[in-house]
Structure 1
Amino acid sequence: MVWLDSGLGRRELAQFLRSRRERINPEQVGLPVGPRRRTAGLRREEVAVLAGLSPTWYCYLEQGRKIRPSSEVLDSLARVLLLSEDERRYMHMLAHGQVAEPQPLDTGFPPEDIIRQLVRTTGIGQYPVYALNLSADVIAWNHATTEWYADFGALDPAERNMVRWMFTDPTARIRFADWESDAQDIVARLRTVPARRPHDARLARLVVEMKRLSAEFRLWWEEHDVIEQRSRLRTLCHPTLGNRTMRLVVVYPSDTDSYMVAYHLPAGPNDTL
């Protein structure tokens, strides 16, 4: 259930909008400040007009009435109320339980650099650590990844994609003890991305390419199976180290939702690194 469906959620959104409205100086949005003005910040009617809304409807929203604003309305309010990206996301989460069209957060440090450093500093052990974008392009990996998967550094940059490698490189079918299960799993995980990024051109090109290159990918993609990212066991096969079952855990750094880091951990609580 979306939190807005509860009275608590509606009150929280109403209070948040009111607090943001009251902090805006009218001059910030091009409105004159007359000598008789007593309202702190903007008036409700002013917010409504600037956002292209009915004053009565916006008043209901600030009163916590049982109405549901669209994503477009929320973004219009975010523009008028000069919300930061964090505040805009928060408002969307209150109203819909998810963020519509998330924008990159400005941390002063490129997200891809953060991801590369994260892999570099945490991937010093014997277990694979690699980083992907949402289209499964491999952007960073540790030495253990080259042992258990492939040396992505030796591949052409256009081929450094986990999905492409799994379906087109014969080595992949050797490295996975149960290739079919893991391949179906990665297709089902990839299936969730278009719902969050419907306009992702890179993902669209990848799907078209993979449907052309692999009949198995085409079959499983059209089956529409969906699996959210969650930990799972994966057994990898090494020519000299033998078979090893690991727990695959995917994490998303807080500064960006466009990249993920895949960690391989001991399969059981009694296993050691």
Structure 2
Amino acid sequence: MPGDAQRRRELAEFLRSRRSRIDPRDLGLPVGPRRRSAGLRREEVAVLAGLSPTWYTYLEQGRKIQPSPQVLDSLAQVLRLSEDERRYLHALVHGEAISAQALEPEASAGDLLRRIVATTEPSPYPVYAADRYGDLIAWNRQALEWYDDWDALRPGERNILRWMLTAPAARERLVDWESDTRDAVARWRAEAAKWPLDAGFRERIEKLSGISPEFATWWSDQNVQEHRSKIRRLRHPELGVRVMLIVPMTSPEFTPSGVVFHLPVNESDAPKSA
């Protein structure tokens, strides 16, 4: 199936990228003049993971083989993957089988999300809802105040990642624009791995690569990160900079869409900008 072939290619690229960043000396391996490229050799990864070098080579070549969860965890240990990267590795192999499936809700997911966001209108903090692609479904008035006039965007442009990458306002409003946007790309890659047969992700990857050089570069970095709470600094044109904790929340009724809340954080408690 085309989706399986694409997933195997993604797996091969990810393994190669993670292998290349390991310093052999950190694992007690010699670095001599015959080592032509940075990182571990395929044979070294295979031996350290207890695998056949030929079998591991097939894996990096995108051959049709199915590594077990134990093998994936062994590779994750050798390649020193973070927990987010380890989960991503498993998602590339197992795909939709490990992703959450939505339950049958009392109302449609979109309607439910709009109703949730509508209840936050009295809040002084931004709230928005987005689907698995990052397409914006609903937002409160404070989101327009702190982010941008998303009402003015055409429907095809109402995507939080696209906005972060291409909107001039994003670089003004996001104090730590580069790190925030890199994180968003890494989260998007982790989410895309859960839906290997979804043409929507492939279409958006091609489109974003064409309109944003930063996306093309950061996507090829193969970094992954789960969607979790994190600090974000926002710059309001009148109120100045405020530090907020963004908290993504979801429910089986509208998985994989979710609502992103913003909570106040004291400036003294927040990490300093780089």
Report the TM range for the smaller structure's normalisation: 0.5 to 0.7
Query: 1:56 maps to which residue?
Result: none
Hey, what's the Cα distance between the residues in 2 that align with 1:266 and 1:137?
25
- Aligned residue runs from structure 1 range 139-154, under 5 A: 139-154=137-152
Hey, what's the Cα distance between the residues in 1 that align with 2:234 and 2:181?
13
Query: Which string of whole-angstrom CA distances, capped at 9 and with x for unpartnered residues, describes residues 35-55 of structure 1?
Result: xxxxxxxxxxxxxxxxxxxxx
Specify the structure having the higher radius of gyration (Cα). Answer: 1
Deviation at 1:123, TM superposition (A): 4.1
Aligned residues: 176
Deviation at 1:169, TM superposition (A): 1.0
1:252 to 241, 250, 253: 250
Hey, what's the Cα distance between the residues in 2 that align with 1:224 and 1:190?
11
Deviation at 1:258, TM superposition (A): 2.0
Counterpart contact for 1:132–1:138, Cα < 8 Å: yes
Aligned-pair identity (%): 42
Query: 2:220 maps to which residue?
Result: 222
Query: 1:126 maps to which residue?
Result: 124
Query: 1:197 maps to which residue?
Result: 195
Greater Cα offset, 135-144 or 189-198: 189-198
Query: 2:175 maps to which residue?
Result: 177
Deviation at 1:267, TM superposition (A): 1.4
Q: 1:239 and 1:201, CA in 2 relative to 1: closer, same or farther beyond 3 A?
A: same
Hey, what's the Cα distance between the residues in 2 that align with 1:242 and 1:213?
30
- Provide the secondary structure at the position in 2 that maps to 1:244: strand
- Provide the secondary structure at the position in 1 that maps to 2:193: helix
- Provide the secondary structure at the position in 1 that maps to 2:196: coil
- Provide the secondary structure at the position in 2 that maps to 1:229: coil
Counterpart contact for 1:251–1:260, Cα < 8 Å: yes
Give the ranges of 4+ consecutive aligned residues of structure 1 lying more than 6 Å apart after TM superposition: none
Counterpart contact for 1:124–1:142, Cα < 8 Å: no
TM-score of the pair, normalised by structure 2: 0.60
TM-score of the pair, normalised by structure 1: 0.60
2:108 to 107, 110, 133: 110
Hey, what's the Cα distance between the residues in 2 that align with 1:184 and 1:240?
27
Query: Which string of whole-angstrom CA distances, capped at 9 and with x for unpartnered residues, describes residues 63-87 of structure 1?
Result: xxxxxxx9xxxxxxxxxxxxxxxxx
Q: 1:131 and 1:183, CA in 2 relative to 1: closer, same or farther beyond 3 A?
A: same
Query: 2:241 maps to which residue?
Result: 243
Query: Which structure carries more relative contact order (alpha carbon 8 Å, separation 6+)?
Result: 2
Hey, what's the Cα distance between the residues in 2 that align with 1:119 and 1:198?
30
The alignment yields a C-alpha RMSD, in angstroms, of: 2.2
Hey, what's the Cα distance between the residues in 2 that align with 1:267 and 1:117?
26
- Aligned residue runs from structure 1 range 69-84, under 5 A: none
- Unpaired segments ≥5 residues, structure 2: 1-67, 69-93, 270-274
- Provide the secondary structure at the position in 1 that maps to 2:161: helix
Query: 1:209 maps to which residue?
Result: 207
Query: Which string of whole-angstrom CA distances, capped at 9 and with x for unpartnered residues, describes residues 184-203 of structure 1?
Result: 01001101012211122222
Q: Which amino acid aligns with 1:154?
A: A
Q: 1:211 and 1:269, CA in 2 relative to 1: closer, same or farther beyond 3 A?
A: closer
- Aligned residue runs from structure 1 range 151-162, under 5 A: 151-162=149-160
Deviation at 1:256, TM superposition (A): 2.2
Q: 1:269 and 1:242, CA in 2 relative to 1: closer, same or farther beyond 3 A?
A: closer
Counterpart contact for 1:148–1:238, Cα < 8 Å: yes
Hey, what's the Cα distance between the residues in 2 that align with 1:117 and 1:269?
32
- Unpaired segments ≥5 residues, structure 1: 1-69, 71-95
Deviation at 1:99, TM superposition (A): 4.7
1:263 is aligned to 2:261: yes
Counterpart contact for 1:192–1:226, Cα < 8 Å: yes
Hey, what's the Cα distance between the residues in 2 that align with 1:101 and 1:239?
40
Q: 1:170 and 1:270, CA in 2 relative to 1: closer, same or farther beyond 3 A?
A: closer
- Provide the secondary structure at the position in 1 that maps to 2:225: coil
Query: 2:185 maps to which residue?
Result: 187
